Amino acid sequence: MQFNSIEYAIFLVVAFTLYWALARWNLLRVAFLVVASYIFYAASNPWFVLLLVGSTVTDFYAGRGIVKADAAGQIGRKKAWLVLSLAVNLGLLGVFKYANFFYESFVDIGNALGFTLVFDRLDILLPAGISFYTFQTMSYSIDVYRGLLKPEKSFLNFAFFVGYFPQLVAGPIVRAVDFLPQLKRRAHVSRQQLSRAMWLIGIGLLKKVVIADYLAVNIVDRVFDAPHRFSSMEVLIGLYGYTMQVYMDFSAYSDIAIGSALLFGFKLPDNFNRPYTATSISDFWKRWHMTLGSWLRDYLYFPLGGSKKGDLRTYYNLFVTFILIGLWHGASWTFVVYGCLHALAMSINRYFRVNVGKREKKKLTAWGWTWRVALTLNFVVLARILFRAQDFTQAGEIVDALLAGTTYVNSMTPLLWALLIGCYVVHWLPRSPIDSLRDALSKIPIPAQGAVLAAALLVIMQAASTEVVPFIYFQF
């Protein structure tokens, strides 16, 4: 069920109405949202609900088993429960997301060694959101193992944490230590939360339908489908267009998810913080997909040793982390190389920060900020070639077109120019104008805010394409 569909709007209104009708009964309201979340998830494929339930059951009992074993001093049994949790979740990812990747890589290596092997793609569907909810449940088991979290006593509450529909398919990645305590509170939503929810849902739909989808149809898809038909300048513009499209698309999903959750009184973590204002690649990853970055930092990079075991080990840890970031996004060698490029950039950034930055602690000037933002952005833009390309052949065609040196621009309309340039300008502007608009809307009565949102949705629907375009991160 797509956030940018009429079906989701109806689902959200019905769920909101029935939930608050049951708000005085804690058990009923939670049970209702669990059922509603499973219905939401089953809309893509009912069989995938079984995987969601399987992951939920495994980690719920793994958490309880870890604590019981720890209390009994059974260290081996405690580790065994954690291994079970990791094996089940990583096993689900391995089978449903990476089986064909590993199989094809094995065939390619075998053929390179002189064998005659044939790759016959396995008919495996990728369950929506599997990369997200498996990471959530693994973090729960790991936190319980580390003693940072007590195991949840209620299976219903735990099932709600894992399957809560706003964040289920494409995040943000929520941690039990932040979310489960919210279930212990009385059901309540403030006027400020309702105002922010409607703002986020409206902004999210605007980003997705009016900006991301328009950029995709009118420049990005055309450039990537046939780069040889465009000049070098048009291909570069297409890359800037894709860089803005993927941000608008994914941040739109996060906005709608956070806004939808707020309607029921639950807070989800922010996932973006104006990433294209980053002054370094390190700063970029603190602003882009923040819940994934912090997850890998806390559950992979730090356990590997972080930056505490010398420079070479630090660079090794960075490469391991970013290769997995690449693979998390897709089962393809293009994503592996994408991760390696970012790891290399992070390593270079760290080297200069450690060896040169100590002597440059002055506040950035306007020029210093500008060239750092430009350098970081252009690295991100060029690396997106591997993020978007279906394979190395298509990536090579994009690079060839970029290096051709042609400068004519015939494919850009005035509206497309205005939209693309305007998005970057607004992204770089101080927050105050947008915050002022949001604050002004929040001061009018809630029914009036609802009317404004409804009117905005009608305008957005008119600007939408004839078909609902899936969110980019649904494929991850």
Backbone angles phi, psi at 252, to 5 degrees: -65, -45
Cα angle vertex 250, ends 282, 395, to 5°? 70
Tokens of 267: 């807070």
Catalytic residue among 289, 329, 342, 427: 329
Beta strands in 65-156 (DSSP E): none
Alpha-carbon span 325 to 335, nearest angstrom: 8
- Please give the Cα distance from 273 to 137 (Å, whole number): 25
How far is 446 from 455, CA to CA, in rounded Å? Answer: 14
349 to each of 2, 49, 243, 283, 426, how far by Cα in Å? 38, 43, 21, 10, 27
Residue with tokens 């990433």: 275
Residue 25's contacts (CB-CB under 8 Å, 6 or more residues apart) are none
From CA 421, how far away is CA 152, in angstroms rounded? 49
CA-CA distances (angstroms) from residue 344 to 83, 228, 271, 354? 31, 30, 24, 15
Asked about 329 being catalytic, the answer comes back as yes
Helices 130-146 & 48-71, crossing angle to 10 degrees?
10
**CA distances for 317 relative to 236, 309, 368, angstroms:** 32, 10, 29
- Which residues are known to be catalytic? 329
